[in-house]
Structure 1
Amino acid sequence: MLELRHLNKTFSPSVVPVKDLSLSVKRGEFLTLLGPSGCGKSTVLRMIAGLEQPTKGQVLIQGDDVTHKPPGDRNISMVFQSYALYPHMTVADNIASALKLRKIPEEEVRQRLREVSNFLGLEALMERKPSKLSGGQRQRVAVARALVRRPSVFLLDEPLSNLDALLRENVRAELKQLFESQQAPVVYVTHDQTEAMTLSTKVAVLNDGNLQQLDAPHQIYAFQIRKRFPIQEQRV
């Protein structure tokens, strides 16, 4: 389980992107942080990953306080908006790079590569460079690199934003199926309400650093509808 306790981030007295955020994500849950640009959602993700230090509060993974641990000691996999693939490496080497850094035995590396390439349909692409891949294929490679580590938590920062509308819809369906088969908690950042409602088991709505609502997607949707079109009471 991932747990955030009273998380705060202050850059200056006038810039406070995250204000007293507390929430948890259990095994098998897919949480989307939804909100406009500048609402604090990417800052939250970076604090979970260890790329940004909280001003106050705690980040716990499986009950272990990792607030002050470096990113490499948190057993977290992150998929970035840009995919962050090494252009000089093949698909196979990109996927295996995190395992080799952790000095995983070579035979286990090969086994994990076979499993993840088969799972994501990448077998025919393993010797290609990123420049020879389509946007959807690059996105799939970035997800494969995250999966192969077998992390305690998955983090995804607007991974579909660089895809065109049709491809984004197709990849969204793939991601939903993929992460339904995983047990690790998922935290997904987007400003796209359709993505949030389609992918998530629960949604956290952020605005100006504050958590405004945390609920199941259909409850979030119903609340927004009532907010836009309030039902007037009839007077008898």
Structure 2
Amino acid sequence: MPDAIWRSNLAVFDLRVAVPPRLRTQVAETLRNAIVLGELAPGERMIERVLCERMGVSRTSLREAMRELENEGLLTNLPNRGLIVSVVDPKIAQEIFDVREALEALVCRLFCERATDEHIERCRAVNVELMAAYEAGAARELIAAKNRLYDVLIAGADNAEAERMLRSIHMRASQLRMISLSSGERRKASQEEIQLLIDSLLNRRGKDAERLARKHVQQAAKFAMSMIRRTGELS
């Protein structure tokens, strides 16, 4: 279960979206973050009237955004029920972790081989932000900081296909990340794993980075899968 700090950060989640530009993109990102942070729970129905009222947007913008999330696998269209937040069963969860492990290990190795000095400095700067977010234990800030780290690693790895696949699997893994970071004990272990990984990235130790990236995902998977198996599904 999330600790008190984690719960307090979720409790103040605001779904209201600013007016355009690119309103559909903003609506999709807001819904995506709400799913990642558990504001919209697995299995919850996406009731258009309620969501439009909460977000202050039109049904047209909402429907366009929900189609985008359905394509990403974050929403599922059920007969006679309509769209719901996708429920991830243990088999799918393990498959997502397996793919994520392989892709993140590859990206980390490529970063060590191809990153420019500018990428290295950006990684160093993001690490400072990420460690501060870990210490604060704030859900939104921590996930945002991890996303910025992945953005830097992907840019430095300079492989368009790896980027496309990793971003796709991160969409599918978003709910699982929430589980693995919801425990204070797991977050502490995650922080230590990430710090070791970043040290290897900053010093361009490709083999170490690849190994540590795999270990980090494996440990996240171990924790998340134990939580999921208690109920048989992410719900």
TM over 0.5, shorter chain: no
Higher fraction of strand? 1
TM-score, normalised on structure 2? 0.32
**Structure index of larger Rg:** 1
Higher fraction of helix? 2
TM-score, normalised on structure 1? 0.32
